[in-house]
């Protein structure tokens, strides 16, 4: 998941906590019996939700089903929780599964599409920036809060950047979380209704399951993920294993596939973690801002979909892959959707990774250039 999850809290102080998905590795404090029970309960509810969605043949069942079920429990007041450190390990599993799509031929083809990758990332960021003033006016928040709520980025990262520029981190965290979860739930179902599918076979159906090789991939991938997190790379727990697997695959090495049961387990734990970020204590203090944040998400999704369709037409790329690549969701969730629907996963992943890089590099200076000077003059 490109987007880290902010720990739940009832005020701005809670939103200022750094997400383990994007910051330095955290210690492993003793887990009390009560905490362990809440974690087991959350995982069980997530697994049950995923199973129900799978039985009903709904799109991306393990991820969406677990998210919806756990979020429902949290909003009803039941103590369903998730441990981000456990999620981080299974994010690495997702990264390994996605990295298997970077074959030598695919890597060479993507290198020739650098212009499209950069343009798509710039367009997506420009859409978020253009929507920020409208959110500031409708939601009656300052421009820093509106700006970092509108740019598709990590939940924790955007919340802390907003605070650094005088904004309020709690509304930013809520808006970013709503964006990620809304895209995860809506996009696969909209694709299913529209009949958008590709013909790229899943790597797990092609590559054999080699337990010893997969264990080495996981160990090497998590080591790379830890290194990236240590140096401050957002979504490092997924991007590290993805980069290792993609590099080896593109170099022609024969690796292990990720078995379907392990991929499903990773998706359940990711969905559980997303759902556990919701709670009454998160929503209640921001209930007046909530409708405006939802409207912002709808506008952002619609504008990004239009941009993706236009870029697909202009560059002759597959419509489904471009829609997922420009969707304002996380790299893990959108790439998993493409994987399940048989689309060009390598293109989707690379589009999102390019955007992650540009968000990290350009968002703060762009805000200073466009809005900070104006605010200082008032």
How confident is the prediction along the chain (378 residues), in pLDDT tens digits per residue?
444 433 333 334 334 333 333 444 445 566 788 888 999 999 999 999 999 999 998 888 898 899 899 989 998 888 888 888 888 889 889 889 888 888 787 777 778 888 999 999 999 999 999 999 999 999 888 998 999 899 888 776 787 778 888 888 888 888 888 888 888 888 888 888 888 887 666 665 577 888 899 999 999 999 999 998 888 776 788 888 988 998 898 888 888 888 989 989 999 998 898 888 887 777 777 888 889 999 999 999 999 999 999 999 999 999 999 999 999 988 778 888 888 888 888 889 889 888 887 887 788 788 887 765 555 544
Per-residue tokens: 107: 């890597």
Cα distance between residue 273 and residue 85, in whole Å: 10
Place of tokens 């805000």: 367
Q: CB of 183 within 8 A of CB of 329?
A: yes
Place of tokens 């069980």: 44
Among residues 214, 116, 140, 158, the alpha carbon closest in space to that of 19 is found at 158
Among residues 366, 317, 378, 365, the alpha carbon closest in space to that of 343 is found at 317
Place of tokens 């076979």: 201
A 10 A CB-CB count for 107 gives 17
- Please tell me whether the overall predicted TM-score, pTM, comes out greater than 0.85 for this model: no
Question: Which runs of consecutive H residues, i.e. helices, occur in the chain?
Answer: 12-15, 33-55, 61-75, 84-99, 104-111, 114-139, 143-150, 155-164, 169-194, 203-206, 211-230, 236-250, 260-276, 280-283, 290-315, 319-326, 331-340, 345-367, 373-377
First to last CA, the chain: 39
Q: CB of 328 within 8 A of CB of 301?
A: yes
Give the containing element (helix H, strand E) for 76.
Answer: none
Cα 86 versus chain centre, distance:
16
Place of tokens 């605010």: 375
């Amino acid at each position: 998941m490109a987007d880290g999850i902010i720990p739940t809290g009832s005020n701005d102080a809670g939103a200022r906590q750094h997400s383990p998905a994007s910051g330095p590795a955290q210690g492993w404090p003793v887990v009390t019996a009560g905490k362990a029970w809440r974690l087991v309960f959350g995982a069980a509810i997530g697994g049950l939700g995923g199973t129900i969605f799978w039985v009903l043949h709904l799109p991306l069942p393990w991820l969406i089903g677990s998210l919806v079920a756990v979020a429902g429990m949290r909003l009803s007041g039941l103590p369903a929780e998730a441990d981000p450190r456990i999620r981080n390990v299974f994010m690495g599993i997702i990264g390994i599964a996605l990295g298997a799509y970077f074959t030598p031929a695919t890597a060479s083809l993507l290198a020739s599409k650098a212009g499209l990758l950069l343009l798509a990332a710039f367009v997506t960021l420009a859409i978020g920036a253009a929507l920020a003033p409208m959110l500031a006016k409708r939601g009656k928040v300052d421009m820093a809060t509106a700006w970092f709520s509108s740019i598709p980025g990590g939940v924790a990262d955007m919340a802390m950047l907003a605070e650094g520029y005088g904004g309020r981190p709690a509304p930013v965290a809520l808006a970013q979380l709503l964006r990620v979860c809304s895209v995860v739930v809506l996009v696969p179902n909209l694709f299913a209704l529209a009949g958008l599918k590709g013909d790229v076979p899943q790597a797990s159906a092609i590559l054999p399951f080699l337990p010893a090789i997969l264990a080495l991939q996981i160990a090497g991938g998590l080591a790379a993920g830890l290194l990236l997190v240590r140096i401050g790379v957002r979504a490092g727990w997924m991007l590290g294993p993805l980069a290792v697997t993609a590099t080896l695959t593109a170099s022609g090495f024969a690796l292990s596939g990720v078995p379907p049961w392990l991929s499903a387990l990773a998706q359940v734990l990711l969905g559980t973690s997303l759902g556990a970020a919701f709670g009454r204590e998160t929503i209640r203090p921001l209930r007046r801002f909530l409708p405006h944040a939802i409207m912002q998400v709808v506008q952002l999704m619609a504008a990004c979909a239009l941009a993706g369709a236009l870029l697909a037409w202009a560059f002759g790329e597959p419509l489904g892959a471009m829609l997922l690549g420009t969707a304002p969701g996380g790299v893990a969730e959108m790439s998993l959707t493409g994987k399940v629907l048989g689309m060009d996963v390598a293109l989707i992943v690379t589009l999102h990774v390019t955007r992650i890089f540009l968000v990290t590099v350009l968002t703060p200076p762009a805000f200073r250039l466009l809005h900070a000077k104006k605010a200082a003059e008032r």
